[in-house]
Structure 1
């Protein structure tokens, strides 16, 4: 006859709990490096789509700087990836935020070359309405490619609006708020780079030399 069945059951449960915790810990240890590597590879693919691999020779994923200007970049701290070749600046990719999308914030990657032209723009995440606002995705339409090569002077500054507002950029039928917000965010990112782009690269170089 088993004595103290409650105690035995408690011990068994504790053993199972310990074994389960150990198994989860081991699994996490085994998969953490793989997950990190996959995330890095996905980020690198996004970055080289905007800044071609042959145009830089540094590790753009780790060569970063933090930009501080919420009114232009959408957040208090904006991570900026810096592309260089032979130590010379090539392009900066801003992880800008559109705070006023139709259904919430929209996260972007905005690549600006050192001559002030756009290497391209990609939407990283959003909550826009399927079939309407989600046309900002490159697999939904080619609208996002309309930024390629543009600058603050092409089109001229006052034309950085959707056509409904008298600008040069298309909007979507039934969804003007989303493209309007993205056009404005990209323009603001260009403005930030125009004012602070050089210092972004210089600040990073100073930090590296310390």
Structure 2
């Protein structure tokens, strides 16, 4: 029996590698098809649970996660390169906007936020979705870590109008009326200023943010 040539061995190796690649690709594709819908639904459920904290589902009847607007990077929102705005409607009428925002000047770095603002121009709620503030000090911006369970610090923004004076978006130390924890002014100041920027952004762009998708 003749021994396989070097060329034959090369061809066999190439065929084996091709077969392996095809099988592996098919397995990966199959796994993706079986799981991607479940993963997508899980991600959507997590987003809704987060939004639920600042905007109850009873306030809208549209498909919130699919009635969205992508806005380009803006100094007003502090998010780059772009961010999502969710539009809540009830009976076809505008109810609220939920916006992604960020405070780049937190003590531990950028503080990611979501802000709900009603069609009447009043803030419905604010939440920090990601931050690296000092545990026990600046992390009170997160209501889950705020020791004031009955009235978390972050709730001071609720019902404030986007047309409110500048003092509404400053902590007391800077001449405003937002309380803060002694020794952790930077965290409170960063969030307060960021919410103020979002308020001004919505005041300026309200109509286009609520406009139905074309």
Q: In which range does the TM-score fall when normalised by the shorter chain?
A: 0.7 to 0.9
Root-mean-square deviation (CA, aligned residues, Å) is 2.8
Question: Does the CA contact (< 8 Å) of 1:159 and 1:166 recur in 2?
Answer: no
Kindly name which structure, 1 or 2, has the bigger radius of gyration based on alpha carbons.
2
Residue of structure 2 in register with 1:57 after alignment: 61
Residues 1:18 and 1:77: Cα distance change in structure 2 (over 3 Å): closer
The answer to whether residue 74 in structure 2 is matched with residue 70 in structure 1 is yes
Q: Out of 52, 67, 73, which is 1:48 matched to?
A: 52
1:102 paired residue number? 107
Three-state SS of the structure 2 residue aligned to 1:128 is coil
Q: Distance in 2 between matches of 1:67 and 1:21?
A: 36
Residue aligned with 1:70, SS: coil
In structure 1, the gaps of 5 or more residues are: none
| TM-score normalised by the chain length of structure 2 | 0.80
Structure 2 residue ranges without an equivalent (≥5): 147-151
2:106 partner SS = coil
Which of the residues 160, 168, 178 maps onto 2:169? 160
- Structure 1 residues 169-195: Cα deviation after superposition (integer angstroms, max 9, x where no partner): 122232211110110010111111111
Structure 2 distance, partners of 1:201, 1:178, is 31
Normalised by the length of structure 1, the TM-score is 0.81
CA distance in 2, matches of 1:32, 1:135: 36
Q: 1:119-138 residue pairs with structure 2 within 5 A? A: 119-138=124-143
Q: Distance between the aligned counterparts of 2:32 and 2:182, measured in 1?
A: 46
Q: SS state of the match for residue 107, structure 1?
A: strand
